[in-house]
Chain A
Amino acid sequence: MRLGSTFKIAFRALRRNKLRSALTALGIIIGVGAVIAMVGIGSGAKAQVEAQIASLGQNVILVFSGSTTSSGIRTGWGGAGTLKIEDAEAIRREVPGVSAVSEEVPSSVQVAAGNQNWFTRVLGESADYFDIRQWPLASGSPFTPQDVRSANKVCVIGKTTASQIFGNGDPIGQTLRIKNVPFTVTGVLTPKGLSAQGLDQDDVVIMPYTSAMKRVAGGTTLRNVNVQVANASDLEPAQQQIISLLRQRHNIRPGRDDDFTVRNQQEIAQAATATTEVMTGLLGAIAGVSLVVGGIGIMNIMLVSVTERTREIGTRMAVGAHGRDILTQFLIEAVSLSAVGGLLGIILGIAASKLLSVWKNWPSLISPSSIVVAFLVSAAVGIFFGFYPARTASRLDPIDALRYE
């Protein structure tokens, strides 16, 4: 019954001190705005990394060939050529849960068509590769398992390669000379953008791995094998199965190191997102500090306000205000300041992160939950930091308060 009046009283009091109210709210506006913007930018970065990781494909296990040392120079993973076509076949045949396998033979070569040429990455893969990477074609058709078996001179090209070689023309059915071997372009891939490492994934030519071995890279070994399992729960067991299968096939005795490396996509994703998560946490924490400072600002002003308004409080009590009315009034004042500050802060935070993503090209992702949390936190800050001054005010003795100078 009296709460309505108390709201009226509190709002009148806030209106009386417009500048002070605005300055107090400013602390919260900046605090909440900073939290929203920082967390938005942090989770934007995280989402970007996650999207890049996801572009590797779902439930993928990467099996790399081991490294080798020649004249003291180590080649890095995949250099030793320890993985053979038969190993990939064995994985396809023997490891349960495996749904797709693609043998990968990469090389970087000059490709040409007509009077244009371009240095690009040539990937030999199996026909499953497009499913594993979830990489559909924009036009044309992919090569088939039959093309792989026959090592046909066909290829699929990425968006960047297509525009560099063929300009605006239609590449489908055109001939692409790779190491002076003519390949027929059967399809163009949809653009995938930059990889997590900043590599242009669309700057690529993909052909049957058999063709790549025979006509481009030479040799009979695979740098790596992309394995996809049907369910995420199959990842771990499949990984173990692959390790023991390959150790057995490569005759590696117990206690000796593997001559290959198996990593699954979750591990790669975790490593990549860990950094951005730490970033988001740090940014959020720093912004959180400013929110707490804003809260202390509210407490500070409310305490000053209680002292300055002691006579007013005495007057209110003299004309019939209960201690509870005074407590509620000051709490409402504090919470209104922090809630209004929170709302404005949310708007400021969204605006700031949008501006940053436009100016600096930083991605930002503002989730509804972070808005709700920021608002509730700012209201809670008001209650928490407003309670002590409000209680101080409500416990004043009306006689002393009236005489206060």
Chain B
Amino acid sequence: MVVNGKDAAVVQLIEVHKTYRTGEMEVHAVRGVSLEIHRGEFVALMGASGSGKSTLMNILGCLDRPTSGQYLLDRSDVSHLTRDQLADIRNSKIGFVFQNFNLLPRTSARENVELPLLYGKHQLSNQQLRERADRVLASVGLQGREDHHPSQLSGGQQQRVAIARALINDPEVLLADEPTGNLDSRTSVEIMGIFQELNKRGITIIMVTHESDIAAFARRDVAMRDGLVRSDRPVSQRLIASDEIGKRADVDELPQPEN
């Protein structure tokens, strides 16, 4: 099951179930999902609301533990870790990008990006924090905006800060939960451009979305329904953000890609 080398699965779910109990009702949100995601993949996790994709995302992000089944992240089992152990995994191996950015208000972009480092294993000097944050901010095209507060940044720029924050600890997986949900379509394409760029550099990305035109920027499309994976296939007509950006400048809506 454990494969060494370049092709090793970064994420491996084996018969994962998740059951919630809300009062009398038992909600079986995830009903046995097995999934393998390899290093360097760009996966879009699709599904309508109630399909279990958010629950699965929480499990993938180590925010939640599966009721049964196994989750191997970077070849180690994280299904039964404690709250604090999960927090350490999130800090070192997972980068989160949220729909509503979740930046700290009235805090500079730099300090927002430094945040995961403050909870990391190594205590860094202010100088080291600053250098690392500025380097990652530059890599998402925010050079010169390090001291801006979120309120002084556009939505797209805020999402870039969030991406920089997700990348600061060199995570195994970048998890994006509806990263373009709060952005206009042009900015969405820009963010997809950043994702494709990061992916080209070898970063594994898992992106939850319910928009198929956003999913089309990924390489692999996993669709969920009723707590199960219904389809899992490569994206056939993959969009390239650098090509799309010109078109979207004029046309706000992109025709649905056929697949």
**A-side interface residues toward B, CB under 8 Å?**
1-2, 4-6, 8-9, 12, 16-17, 311-312, 314-325, 398-399, 402
Contact = CB atoms under 8 A, between A and B. Distances in A.
Contacts of B96: 318-319
B119 A318 contact: no
A398 B83 CA distance: 10
A371 B90 CA distance: 45
B118 A9 contact: yes
B118 A8 contact: yes
A402 B98 contact: yes
B87 interface: yes
A320 B58 contact: no
B118 A311 contact: no
Contacts of A312: 104-105
B159 to A, nearest CB: 14
Given A399-B58, A402-B102, A319 B107 contact: no
5 contacts: A1-B121, A9-B118, A319-B96, A322-B87, A402-B63
Given A4-B123, A311-B102, A402-B102, A319 B63 contact: no
B123 A1 contact: yes
A338 B90 CA distance: 33
B198 interface: no
A321 B87 contact: yes
A4 B63 CA distance: 25
B119 A16 contact: no
A343 to B, nearest CB: 25
A332 to B, nearest CB: 13
Given A2-B123, A315-B98, A322-B87, 6 more contacts: A1-B121, A1-B123, A6-B118, A322-B83, A402-B63, A402-B98
B115 A323 contact: no
A16 B105 contact: yes
Contacts of A317: 87, 90
Q: Which 3 A-B pairs have the closest CB atoms?
A: A320-B91, A320-B119, A319-B116
A319 B91 contact: yes
Contacts of B61: 318
User: For chain B, which range describes its interface: under 10, 10 to 19, 20 to 34, or 35 or more residues?
Assistant: 20 to 34
A16 B108 CA distance: 10
A294 B64 CA distance: 39
Contact of A399 (B64, B84, B104): B64
Interface string B79-90: 000011001101
Contacts of B165: 319
A323 B87 CA distance: 9
A398 B115 CA distance: 16
Nearest to B84: A322
B230 interface: no
A308 to B, nearest CB: 10
B107 to A, nearest CB: 6
Contact of A5 (B63, B92, B105, B119): B119
B119 A316 contact: yes
Contact of B123 (A5, A318, A321): A5
Nearest to B120: A320
B92 A16 contact: no
B200 interface: no
Contacts of B118: 5-6, 8-9
Nearest to A317: B87
A319 B168 CA distance: 10
